[in-house]
């Protein structure tokens, strides 16, 4: 027996079904994608059909609830000097680009998409506890105000930041000498992951390249080079858990801090090369802060200016490390001390980042381990090559091994 459904009942059923639809599909339905098509920098809304600049795209994404995506095509996006902040402005109206919501920004590649701070304010400011991903771009010429929680290129106040195939270069903090003047390139106050990226030639009072004041930082297949600071660490300063894998820390310098990496956390370094760092009056390569620990494996810490490590307190070698002196506590049988790694200079050896190649006869060649190893080196080349895994960020293959597949590939392609 059928009962006739009243109009009100019908309406409530329709409402219920519509609500169910949006509950299930809202995450997809709500995400917007904004494609920037104007390299200018302005804050006013475009009328229909007008170009959309990068700053306005961020404002639209900020105002639209939920995670959105901005496509940032090839081009140089210079923050306008007329919008440079004098007030540490945090609503994306002037100066730094303020991100106020979850956001994904996809550039066309670090060589093609350039975001330039124009020397007046930092470039990106992540204000809340949001999840933000930046990929395929160069972030340069930012200059954070003094006493503003750092981050000349990028500051996070909290949340989760991922940098993938990004170059952060030539950013700084404006002449500050205070506790908040940290992180010339990246000032992290949340969770930060850096992948396939370069942090180069940035400067700050504390932590020239990177300062991690948040809960953790992880660096994979990346290079931190040529950064400078005054009192803490030229390359990277970290106060919490730090993971560095398949990466290079090279040519950074400090006045009275550590040249390369100085950390207070529980630290793990695997398959990494730390070299050519310097400090006027501090440690040149790596130093554990008070209470810090370091587990290090399959890594080169060598040829830093005067001393590679400050002392061996808190240092645990898990073997297969190489040092050209004996200051890092490399005491396992598989460790190599007082050994010249025969590193070539930092340069483009393939892959998205610069690396130090191993020269012929390097004791690091085939002296590493398969334990905890990624299947590739920093450049993305397959490991192992030759008789075993190499120590450090770079896996050397002989010219012959590279050449034979090329011949086979060519002969097949001509058939």
Question: Would you tell me which residues interact with Ca ion (CB under 5 A)?
Answer: 61, 64, 68, 89-90, 95-96, 98, 101, 125, 366, 384-386, 390
- 156 or 327, CB closer to Ca ion? 156
148 CB burial (10 A radius; 0-12, 13-18, 19+): buried
* Beta pairing class for 33-35 and 261-263: unpaired
Q: Judged by CB, which is closer to Ca ion: 363, or 386?
A: 386
Nearest CB to Ca ion, comparing residues 31 and 108: 31
Between 98 and 284, name the residue whose CB sits nearer to Ca ion: 98
CA separation for the pair 386, 83 (Å, rounded): 55
In angstroms, rounded to a whole number, what is the distance separating the alpha carbons of residues 99 and 160? 12
How far apart are CB 273 and Ca ion at their closest, in Å? 14
Q: Shortest Cβ distance from residue 155 to Ca ion (Å)? A: 8
* Smallest distance from Ca ion to CB 172, Å: 16
Would you give the DSSP letter of residue 79?
A: P
Cβ proximity to Ca ion: between 90 and 112 the closer is 90
- Shortest distance, position 252 Cβ to Ca ion, whole Å: 27
H or E segment to which residue 218 belongs: strand 216-220
Query: What is the nearest approach in angstroms of Ca ion to the Cβ of residue 93?
Result: 6
Q: Is 26 helix (H, G, I), strand (E, B) or coil?
A: helix
Q: How far is CA 391 from the centre of its chain?
A: 22
Please state, as a whole number, how many other Cβ atoms lie within 10 Å of the Cβ of residue 360. 8
Of the pair 101, 181, the CB lying nearest Ca ion is at 101
Residue 64 CB contacts under 8 Å (≥ 6 apart), including other chains: 30, 32, 101
Cα–Cα distances in angstroms (integers) from residue 361 to residues 157, 342, 378, in the given order: 47, 7, 20
**Does 138 sit behind a cis peptide bond, omega within 30 degrees of 0 on the bond before it?**
no
The pair phi, psi for residue 343, each rounded to 5°, is -85, 135
Q: Which is nearer to Ca ion, 11 or 40 (CB)?
A: 40
Distance separating alpha carbons of residues 364 and 393, to the nearest angstrom: 10
**Closest distance to Ca ion from the beta carbon of 264 (Å):** 27
Least Å from the CB of residue 17 to Ca ion: 27
> Count of residues for the chain?
415
Closest approach, Cβ 97 to Ca ion, in A, equals: 7
Closest to Ca ion by CB, 125 vs 335, is 125
Q: List phi, psi (to 5°) of 373.
A: -90, 140
């Amino acid at each position: 027996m059928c009962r006739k459904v009243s109009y009100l009942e019908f309406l409530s059923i329709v409402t219920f079904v519509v609500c169910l639809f949006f509950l299930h599909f809202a995450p997809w339905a709500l995400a917007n994608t904004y494609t920037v098509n104007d390299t200018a920098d302005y804050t006013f809304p475009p009328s229909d059909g007008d170009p959309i600049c990068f700053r306005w795209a961020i404002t639209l994404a900020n105002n639209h609830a939920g995670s959105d995506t901005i496509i940032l095509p090839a081009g140089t996006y210079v923050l306008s000097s007329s919008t440079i902040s004098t007030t540490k402005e945090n609503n994306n109206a002037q100066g730094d680009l303020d991100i106020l919501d979850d956001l994904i920004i996809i550039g066309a590649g670090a060589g093609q998409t350039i975001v330039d701070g124009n020397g007046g304010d930092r470039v990106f400011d992540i204000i809340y506890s949001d999840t933000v991903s930046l990929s395929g771009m160069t972030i340069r010429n930012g200059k954070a105000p003094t006493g503003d929680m750092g981050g000349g290129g990028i500051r996070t106040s909290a949340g989760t930041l991922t940098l993938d195939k990004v170059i952060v270069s030539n950013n700084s903090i404006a002449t500050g000498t205070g506790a908040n003047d940290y992180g010339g390139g990246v000032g992290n106050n949340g969770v930060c992951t850096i992948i396939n990226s370069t942090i180069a030639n940035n400067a700050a009072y504390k932590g020239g390249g990177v300062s991690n004041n948040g809960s953790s930082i992880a660096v994979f297949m990346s290079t931190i080079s040529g950064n400078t600071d005054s009192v803490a660490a030229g390359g990277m300063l970290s106060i919490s858990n730090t993971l560095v894998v398949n990466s290079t820390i090279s040519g950074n310098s400090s006045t009275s801090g550590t040249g390369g990496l100085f950390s207070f956390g529980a630290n793990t370094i695997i398959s990494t090369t730390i070299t050519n760092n310097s400090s006027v009056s501090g440690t040149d390569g790596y130093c554990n802060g008070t209470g810090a620990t370091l587990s290090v494996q399959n890594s080169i810490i060598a040829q830093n200016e005067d001393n590679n490590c400050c002392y061996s307190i808190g240092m645990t070698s898990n073997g297969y490390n190489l040092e050209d002196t004996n200051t890092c506590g490399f005491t396992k049988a598989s460790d190599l001390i007082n050994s010249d790694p025969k590193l070539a200079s930092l340069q483009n050896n393939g892959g998205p980042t610069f690396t130090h190649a191993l020269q012929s006869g390097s004791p690091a060649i085939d002296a590493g381990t398969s334990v905890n190893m990624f299947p590739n080196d920093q450049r993305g080349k397959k490991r192992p090559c030759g008789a075993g895994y190499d120590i450090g960020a770079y896996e050397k293959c002989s010219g012959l091994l590279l050449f034979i597949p090329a011949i086979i590939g060519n002969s097949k392609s001509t058939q």
